[in-house]
Amino acid sequence: MKHLKLLTAAAVVTTVAFGSLAQAQEMKFWRIGTGGAGGTYYPIGGLIANAISNPPGSRPCDKGGSCGVPGLVAIAVSTNASVANVNAIDAGQLDAGLAGAQSVTQGYNGEGKFEGNAKKNIRMIANLYPEDMHLVTPKGVKLASLNDLNGKSVGVAAAGSGTQVSVRMILKEWGIKADENELGLGQSTQRLADGQLDAFFYAGGTPFAALIQLGSTKGFELYQFTEADQTRINKIIPYYVPSLIPAGEYETISYDVPTVAVNGQLITSASQPDDLVYSITQALWNKNTRKLLDKGHAKGKAIVMENALKGVLIPIHPGAEKFYKEAGVMK
């Protein structure tokens, strides 16, 4: 479990009173690796787990109950995010997980942090939503350029995260020598608030719960990446493309924040049964799931089937592929 740190055993999203031992024996648990509790992967993973679960004894979908997979209990597990999830799924320690497109593609191809250790067992279920890079500084502290990070104490995200891989590539490209701190999002916001960090990076779907809380207490600023920054980052990390965090996305940030983003994706293992993944994909795109995603998190609205195969550069799981062909999303 070197690459998998369970911060939370994670809640079974749907609970049910079991009427018999036979019912309990019919249950299948399905572990979805997410990220830190203060980020976006964890709540989005929880929504997906809720949508695809349908424990024994639940009311049928057509009678107002869950429209998930009969007998399935999906569990959102807090982890160190992308790289850790790719490793754990490939090793059979997780059944599925959320990960950035960079980590997914590099993992499958054995590139970057995965050089010489390709993760050929991972398969795609769906592309989900764009993950924006945040460069956070204390309230009233604005960077004139990325070079202002030279000599500073900087959070570079958690070990095992795709964000950290990207951040270190950016710092190297700019020739920035900083005191690098490997920290999760919650730790980063706390240390910034306490004055122990000058800045920190984190990528994910906006808004971060941890930043909303920081904004309501100490406040913060976001670095506005220039067009030159965006172009240069895209050149060294092709998975990152220009994006924008609009003014008001965080209540205390009244200005638009140009940045870069990479797609967050839902992946699983090639060893997962085709019929199970077919049913899970079907439940993910059920009309009732749409309601859960739209109401459950601000980024949930960006998860739409039209984008399910956008930017996908690894094999799609055969079960998911069957669904997409039936739905007319792929030929």
Chain centroid, CA 235 distance in Å: 23
Is 10 domain-assigned?
A: no
Shared domain for 315 and 215, answered yes or no, is no
pLDDT exceeds 50 at position 121 = yes
Task: Let me know the angle formed at the C-alpha of 162 by 101 and 3, rounded to the nearest 5 degrees.
Answer: 115
Confidence of residue 115 (pLDDT cuts 50, 70, 90): very high
Checking 173-179 for CB contacts under 8 A at 24+ apart, the result is 173/232, 173/233, 173/236, 174/146, 174/147, 174/149, 176/146, 176/147, 176/149, 176/150, 177/150, 177/151, 178/149, 178/150, 178/151, 178/152, 178/153, 178/154, 179/151, 179/152, 179/153, 179/154
| Structure confidence at residue 66 (pLDDT) | 85
Shared domain for 192 and 154, answered yes or no, is yes
Confidence of residue 307 (pLDDT cuts 50, 70, 90): very high
Shared domain for 248 and 180, answered yes or no, is yes
Is 5 domain-assigned?
A: no
Shared domain for 212 and 95, answered yes or no, is no
The encoded tokens of residue 279 equal 């049913």
If you average pLDDT over residues 190-219, what whole number do you get?
96
pLDDT tens figures, 244-273:
999 999 999 999 999 999 999 999 999 999
Confidence of residue 145 (pLDDT cuts 50, 70, 90): very high
Nearest to residue 71, comparing CAs of 84, 57, 81, 61? 57
The encoded tokens of residue 281 equal 């994909």
Q: What is the CATH number of the domain that holds 40?
A: 3.40.190.10
Q: Which of 53-57, 160-164, 323-327 has the lowest mean pLDDT?
A: 160-164
| Structure confidence at residue 44 (pLDDT) | 97
DSSP class of 56: T
Shared domain for 258 and 136, answered yes or no, is yes
Shared domain for 101 and 217, answered yes or no, is no
Domain range for residue 207?
Answer: 132-262
Please check whether residue 298 is in contact with residue 130, taking contact to mean a CB–CB distance below 8 angstroms.
Answer: no
Is 184 domain-assigned?
A: yes
Shared domain for 137 and 257, answered yes or no, is yes
pLDDT exceeds 60 at position 25 = no
Shared domain for 229 and 314, answered yes or no, is no
Shared domain for 137 and 216, answered yes or no, is yes
Mean pLDDT, the chain, integer: 91
Report the domain count for the chain: 2
Shared domain for 180 and 287, answered yes or no, is no
Rounded to whole angstroms, the Cα distance separating 119 from 225 reads: 33
Shared domain for 27 and 174, answered yes or no, is no
